[in-house]
């Protein structure tokens, strides 16, 4: 039944998620929200990988593997980013990105 959905629909869907992420990254000031936005961007890419692998090269598996790889990296990245936020919060009592101006020129 998934075959009934054309590839273009899935690509439009992933594009919507991608730009939602980009929009969130550019407008939000809270760093955790920004991190969530980056996750949206990554997941839009994951959807593209899986869908294109399934529709165009069904006999190969690189797209699937790449998706799993990205999920792993994203988990590690989230751990590092959150550790940074916690430390930042301990120091300046804020995780607003505009407050972090200590090293500006």
| Residue of the chain from 25, 55, 66, 85 that contacts other proteins (CB under 8 A) | 25
By CB under 8 A, residue 101 contacts other proteins = yes
By CB under 8 A, residue 26 contacts other proteins = yes
By CB under 8 A, residue 97 contacts other proteins = yes
d(CA 102, CA 105): 9
User: Which of these, 76, 79, 97, lies nearest to 88 by C-alpha position?
Assistant: 97
By CB under 8 A, residue 80 contacts other proteins = no
Residue pair 22/37 in contact (Cβ under 8 Å)? The answer is: yes
In terms of CB distance, is 1 or 26 closer to other proteins? 26
Query: Taking the chain, what is the end-to-end CA distance rounded to the nearest angstrom?
Result: 57
Report residue 11 as tokens: 């690509």
By CB under 8 A, residue 59 contacts other proteins = no
* Residue ranges in contact with other proteins by CB under 8 A: 22, 25-27, 34, 97-98, 100-101, 103-105
């Amino acid at each position: 039944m998934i075959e009934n959905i054309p590839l273009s629909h899935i690509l439009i869907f992933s594009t919507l998620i991608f730009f939602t992420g980009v929009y969130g990254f550019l407008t939000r000031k809270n760093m955790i929200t920004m991190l969530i936005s980056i996750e949206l961007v990554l997941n839009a890419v994951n959807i593209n990988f899986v869908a294109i692998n399934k529709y165009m090269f069904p006999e190969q598996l690189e797209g699937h593997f790449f998706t799993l790889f990205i999920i792993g990296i994203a988990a590690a990245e989230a751990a590092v980013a959150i550790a940074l936020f916690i430390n930042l919060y301990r120091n300046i009592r804020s995780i607003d990105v505009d407050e972090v101006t200590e090293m500006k020129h």
